[in-house]
Amino acid sequence: MTMPPVLLELFVLALGIVMLVLESFAETRDRKVFAIIGIVGLALVFLFLQVSAPGPSGMVSYVMDWPAIFFKKVSVLTTIVVLIMSIDYADTITRFLPGRSPQSGLGEFFALPVLTCAGMMWMSSAIDFILIFVSLELVTISFYVLVAFMRRNAASLEAGVKYLILSALSTGFTVYGITWIYGVTQQTNLTQIQQVLPSVPLDNQPGLLFGALLVLVGLGFKIAAAPFQFWVPDVYQGAPTPITAFLSVGSKAVGFIVLLRVVLSFQSLPAVGDRLISAITFLAAVTLIYGNLAALPQTNFKRLLAYSSVGHAGYLLIAVAAIGARDSGLAVVVYLAAYLLMTLLSFLILVIVSTHSQGDDIVHFNGLGKRSPFLAFGLLVAMMSLAGVPLTAGFLGKFLVFKVAFETRQFFLIALGILTVGCGFYFYLKVVKAMYWQPAPPNVTAIPISRLSLVAMWVMVVLIFALGIFPQFATGLLPSTSP
């Protein structure tokens, strides 16, 4: 494709603006059409991405390499699924969003994710701290709005405030960290930083490490790594469910691409790079423990997924900590691809079920196996994959993570991984248990599913198995094995 890559983001941006404009002219029309427009537009973008190859971008702060394309795809795909979910969730949104017409505000709810998607796509390509910072903030600020979107819903607002304050705090640290990195290296561009790092004098290395660690803190916040994860359960629970899905997949994914790029460029100065790796190891350990252990007693499915999101960040961090291994980048990528599928699938079904049964506790899934076997099956597949049962995508991710960890001799993390996988089986199967073991509450009916969601669900189920059974799909994601 000869189209300048940067145009893709602009296209997405235009798409979002078009949706906004349409919103303002649509008086009584069904706003769900906007979401369909967004989905179609993003699907086009996805197809473009599918056929575009990496190449020079002609810009210093923006690259178009394989990871960039991959993470752009992740962003687009996530947004598509989020939009599909949003359609199902629209009724809940409008309930908490009074306006002139019954659907007022929905257009923004569909358009903002598209704009956020543009931010994520920029972030996937960013190799300059300035661009990283602004696109990160674009994503963050959209999320402020989206999380607090249901402004009649106290929980949504509370989540919004918590996210706002903590995210701004982490931004403060990130900025301070970037400042120090810039101060020591005199550069904001990662490629140039990588080049000048070996010549950083010994006295400046602590400052460099200080900056890098603070950046790590900020990114750790985005990817929900302990001990910077405290916002996650509360915000996930309070936010509108599609946005929770968006947060847990999109925000995390772009956090990881930036983290990978940063960590990788710091490898050129082992004194700092290795310390950064040990910091990540520490984060990985704490994250694994916290995410998986604290999930054990959960009874709310959304919070459970929040803790699970933290737990998976732990596994991903293992892969990042094993950056020295050949397939480390691949491990992150594959794990994220798997994580995307299984988490979005879980959220999709959560949206459908919770819309129907007015609640998102695990008990609301009781007897789902009997009430709606296909939904239950979809969720079963998602849970299996999250727990890491072989022949699903989640297993492939865990497999690669353990592989790279073994290659770099991260035995402590492996031991923790073993323990936490066991915990994971427990809390994921709790949902399975509710669906299949428990009797359904009396006088419930089968849950209606929109055709779009059904298609999306089956596509993801098939993809989960496809990725698990044919790993070449996954390895094909990233031909050059490291970003």
Partner 1 sequence: MSPLLFWIFAAIMLVFGGMVVIHRNPVASALSLVVSFLALAALFVSLDAYFIGVIQILVYAGAVMVLFLFIIMLLDLKAELRRRPNLPAVCGGFVVIFLFIVAIAEVSFRFQGGDASFQPIAQGPQGDIWHVGMILFQRYNIALQVVGTLILVASIGVVVLSKRELK
Partner 2 sequence: MNLLIHLTYLAPIVAAVGILLGLQPRRTATYAALIALVSALVVFLGYSRAQAGFQFESAIPLVPSWDLKFFVGVDGLSATLLLLTSIVELAAVWLAPTVESGENPYYACILLIAAGAAGAFASLDLFFFYAFHELALIPTFLMIGIWGLGNRQSVAWKITIYLSVGSIILLVGLIGLYLLPPPQARTFDIVKLQQLASTGAFAGSGSKSVFILLLIGFGILVSLFPFHTWAPQAYASAPVPVAMLHAGVLKKFGLYGLLRVALPMMPEAARHWAPLLLILLAGNLLYVGMATISQKQLDLTLGYSSVMHMGYIFLGIASYNVIGLNGAALLMLAHGLSIAALFAMCGEIRRQTGTVNYLDLGGLGTSMPTLCFIFGLATFASIGLPGFANFASELLIFFGAFKNSAPGAPLNEFQIVGTIALWGVVISTVYMLRAYRAIFMGERQARWQYVKDMPMNLGWAVILLVGALLVFGLLPRTVLDAVEPGIRLFAK
Partner 3 sequence: MVTLNDYLIVSGILFAIGFAGVLLRRNVIIIFMALELMLNAANLSLIGFARYNVHDRLPDYNGQVLAFFIITVAAAEVTVGLAIIVALFRARQTTHVEDINTLKF
Phi, psi of 235 (to 5 degrees): -70, -40
Is residue 144 part of the contact set for partner 3 (CB under 8 A)?
yes
| Interacting span for partner 2 (CB under 8 A) from 239-247, 335-343, 447-455, 471-479 | 471-479
Asked if 386 and 315 touch (Cβ cutoff 8 Å), the reply is: no
Measured between alpha carbons, how far is 87 from 65 in angstroms, rounded to an integer?
33
Number of chain positions touching partner 1 (CB under 8 A): 45
Measured between alpha carbons, how far is 482 from 331 in angstroms, rounded to an integer?
9
Measured between alpha carbons, how far is 355 from 353 in angstroms, rounded to an integer?
5
Within 10 angstroms of residue 202's Cβ, the number of other Cβ atoms is 7
| SS3 annotation, 194-222 | HHHHHHCCHHHHHHHHHHHHHHHHHHHHH
Is residue 276 part of the contact set for partner 1 (CB under 8 A)?
no
What are the beta bridge partners of residue 62?
Answer: 126
Is residue 195 part of the contact set for partner 3 (CB under 8 A)?
no
| From the list partner 2, partner 1, partner 3, none, partner contacted by residue 178 (C-beta under 5 to 8 A by kind) | partner 3
Q: How far is CA 48 from CA 3, 80, 122, 475, in A?
A: 9, 15, 16, 20
| Interacting span for partner 1 (CB under 8 A) from 65-73, 102-110, 379-387, 425-433 | 102-110
And the tokens for 16?
A: 């979002």
And the tokens for 42?
A: 């993003």
Measured between alpha carbons, how far is 16 from 118 in angstroms, rounded to an integer?
9
| From the list partner 2, partner 3, partner 1, none, partner contacted by residue 210 (C-beta under 5 to 8 A by kind) | partner 1
Q: Which of 38, 105, 238, 483 is the binder for partner 3 (CB under 8 A)?
A: 238
Half-sphere exposure of residue 134: CA atoms within 13 angstroms, side-chain side: 11
Q: Which of 380, 382, 416, 478 is the binder for partner 2 (CB under 8 A)?
A: 380
The residues in 205-244 that bind partner 1, with binding defined as CB under 8 A, are: 206-207, 210
Is residue 399 part of the contact set for partner 2 (CB under 8 A)?
yes
Provide the 3-class DSSP secondary structure of residue 188: coil
Is residue 128 part of the contact set for partner 1 (CB under 8 A)?
yes
Provide the 3-class DSSP secondary structure of residue 251: helix
| From the list partner 1, partner 3, partner 2, none, partner contacted by residue 237 (C-beta under 5 to 8 A by kind) | partner 3
Q: Which of 183, 270, 422, 441 is the binder for partner 1 (CB under 8 A)?
A: 183
Is residue 437 part of the contact set for partner 2 (CB under 8 A)?
yes
And the tokens for 128?
A: 């300059």
Task: Name the residue nearer to partner 2 (CB basis): 285 or 380.
Answer: 380
Q: How far is CA 78 from CA 43, 218, 332, in A?
A: 11, 22, 17
Phi, psi of 438 (to 5 degrees): -80, 145
And the tokens for 227?
A: 């001990």
Is residue 211 part of the contact set for partner 2 (CB under 8 A)?
no
And the tokens for 13?
A: 């941006």
And the tokens for 175?
A: 């900025």
For the CB of residue 175, give the shortest distance to partner 1 in the complex, in Å: 14
Q: Which of 169, 436, 444, 452 is the binder for partner 2 (CB under 8 A)?
A: 436
| Interacting span for partner 1 (CB under 8 A) from 42-50, 65-73, 134-142, 437-445 | 134-142
Is residue 402 part of the contact set for partner 2 (CB under 8 A)?
yes
Q: Which of 62, 246, 395, 427 is the binder for partner 1 (CB under 8 A)?
A: 62
State the residues that interact with partner 2 by CB under 8 A.
Answer: 326, 369-370, 377, 380, 384, 387-391, 395, 398-399, 402-403, 406-407, 414, 417-419, 421-422, 425-426, 429, 432-433, 436-437, 468, 470-472, 475
State the residues that interact with partner 1 by CB under 8 A.
Answer: 6, 10, 13, 17, 20, 59-62, 98-100, 104-105, 108, 111-112, 115-116, 118-119, 122, 128, 130-131, 134-135, 137-138, 141-142, 144-145, 148-149, 151, 180, 183-184, 201, 203-204, 206-207, 210
